[in-house]
């Protein structure tokens, strides 16, 4: 079988899988005043050295309780919440009982949605702690649709051979303390997942929010894409700017260029995937990814609130103060803690959805 034939089979499987999932998911109305936060890929374990969740568990609990619960947000956990391919559910629930108590508080308020990923697929449709674990969520906003699902559903391998992957992780990766890198650290698999979801979403004229790849995306753009866009906008502004403004723009351009070069050097072995994912002259802003809770310096999430959608980054200033020194990013401290929330990207939801309709 040729590479082209394999690609066509993969595309057909992805389209059929996502279409069935989308049409079988009952829409939930989303109002302008509603508030949602979306986290994905917690990979909660047993608290041992192989537990990827351990590094940010304290921050995650405090952010949920003191910010999102207190502010009336609904919580969406978009897959790979528990690392069931490595650890028993009972051990996870015992270790992170405090986190589950926070989940239960959201649930008692009617503001909790839990979806499965490929690492916790075994509990799909189960009722745990009084809430149902589903495969997807659809939000209906002024006639448009927001489709939230983990992202593994585009892959025939994960849908049909997930048990084999789990056995490999449990009996080989976990004893050797190898982390969860099967898609998130493979640029080709990550690119392929995002491309398949992008194709489906642009064709169906809907906004899709995934996890799975651990890479934050906003309006179908990665950090590399976003930096290139910002550099272009700054260069356009520069000729008309005054002396003080030019100095500020020059500083911003130097910083963005440095970040871009660092990212490109890190990805040098996979240079084909450092440019725009979609290789299109006009990118449809239909694909978002909330990133993950496993970052070395912090946590990313997506917020939908008051008619806007935001990509936010929660970080510990003891591990990184980068965004405290960045004048282009507003950071908000969580109480008197060392945790801060930075808004990385944001836009009006109606503007994003209208662009999806008009550009497809």
Q: Centre a 10 Å sphere on the Cβ of residue 21 and count the other Cβ atoms it contains.
A: 15
Best CA proximity match to 352, nearest among 206, 226, 227, 245:
206
- Token reading at 11: 């595309």
Q: What is the pLDDT of residue 242?
A: 87
CA gap 116, 54 in Å, rounded: 20
Average pLDDT over residues 109-137: 91
Length of the chain in terms of residues written: 360
pLDDT band at 9 (very low <50, low <70, confident <90, very high): confident
What is residue 329's predicted lDDT score, i.e. its pLDDT?
82
**Whether residue 55 has pLDDT greater than 90:** yes
CATH number for the domain whose boundaries are 3-222+277-359: 3.60.21.10
- Close Cβ partners of 2 (under 8 Å, ≥ 6 residues apart): none
Region 336-354 average pLDDT:
95
At 164 the pLDDT is 45
At 158, list the tokens: 């994960």
Local structure of 20: helix, strand or coil: helix
d(CA 134, CA 144): 21
Q: What is the DSSP track for 199-257? A: HHHHHHT-EEEE-SS---BBTTB-HHHHHHHHHHHHHHHGGG--HHHHHHHHHHHHHHH
Instruction: Return the residue matching tokens 């649709």.
Output: 145
- What average pLDDT does range 208-221 have in this prediction? 93
Percent of the chain exceeding pLDDT 90 equals: 61
The proportion of the chain whose per-residue pLDDT surpasses 70, expressed as a percent, equals 85
Q: What is the pLDDT of residue 35?
A: 98
* pLDDT tens-digit map of 236-275: 788 888 888 888 888 888 887 887 787 767 655 554 444 4
DSSP secondary structure code for residue 80 in this structure: -
Tens digits of per-residue pLDDT, 144-196?
Answer: 999 999 999 998 865 454 454 444 544 455 555 555 555 555 567 788 899 99
Q: How many CB atoms lie within 10 A of CB 323?
A: 20
Other beta carbons less than 10 A from residue 168's beta carbon: 14
**What digits encode the pLDDT tens for the residues 274-314?**
445 555 557 899 999 999 999 999 999 999 999 999 999 99
Instruction: Tell me what the mean pLDDT of segment 113-122 comes to.
Output: 94
Q: What is the mean pLDDT of the chain?
A: 86
pLDDT at 155: 87
Predicted confidence (pLDDT) at residue 13 exceeds the cutoff of 80:
yes
Query: Domains of the chain: which residue ranges?
Result: 3-222+277-359, 224-275
């Amino acid at each position: 079988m040729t590479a082209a034939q394999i690609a066509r089979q993969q595309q057909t499987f992805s389209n059929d899988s996502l279409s069935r999932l989308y049409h079988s998911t009952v829409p939930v109305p989303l109002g302008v005043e509603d508030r949602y936060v979306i986290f994905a890929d917690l990979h909660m374990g047993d608290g041992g050295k192989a537990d990827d969740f351990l590094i940010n568990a304290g921050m995650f609990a405090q952010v949920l309780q003191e910010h999102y619960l207190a502010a009336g947000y609904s919580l969406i956990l978009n897959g790979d919440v528990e690392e069931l391919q490595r650890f028993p559910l009972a051990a996870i629930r015992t270790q992170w009982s405090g986190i589950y108590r926070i989940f239960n508080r959201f649930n008692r308020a009617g503001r909790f949605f839990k979806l499965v990923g490929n690492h916790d697929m075994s509990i799909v449709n189960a009722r745990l702690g009084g809430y149902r674990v589903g495969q997807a969520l659809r939000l209906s906003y002024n006639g448009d649709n927001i489709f939230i699902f983990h992202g593994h559903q585009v892959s025939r391998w994960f849908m049909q051979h997930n048990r084999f992957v789990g056995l490999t992780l449990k009996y080989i990766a976990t004893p050797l303390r190898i982390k969860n890198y099967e898609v998130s650290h493979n640029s080709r698999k990550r690119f392929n997942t995002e491309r398949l979801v992008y194709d489906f979403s642009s064709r169906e004229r809907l906004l899709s929010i995934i996890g799975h790849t651990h890479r934050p995306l906003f309006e179908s753009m990665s950090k590399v894409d976003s930096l290139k866009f910002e550099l272009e906008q700054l260069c356009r502004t520069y000729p008309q700017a005054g002396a003080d403004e030019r100095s500020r723009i020059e500083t911003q351009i130097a910083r963005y260029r440095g970040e871009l070069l660092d990212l490109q050097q890190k990805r040098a072995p996979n240079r084909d995937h450092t440019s725009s994912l979609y290789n299109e002259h006009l990118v449809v802003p239909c694909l978002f990814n909330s990133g993950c809770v496993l970052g070395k310096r912090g946590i990313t999430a997506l917020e939908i609130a008051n008619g806007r959608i935001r990509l936010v980054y929660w970080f510990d200033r003891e591990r990184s103060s980068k965004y405290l020194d960045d004048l282009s990013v507003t950071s908000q401290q969580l109480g008197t803690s060392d945790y801060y929330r930075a808004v990385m990207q944001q836009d009006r939801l109606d503007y994003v959805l209208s662009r999806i309709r008009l550009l497809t």
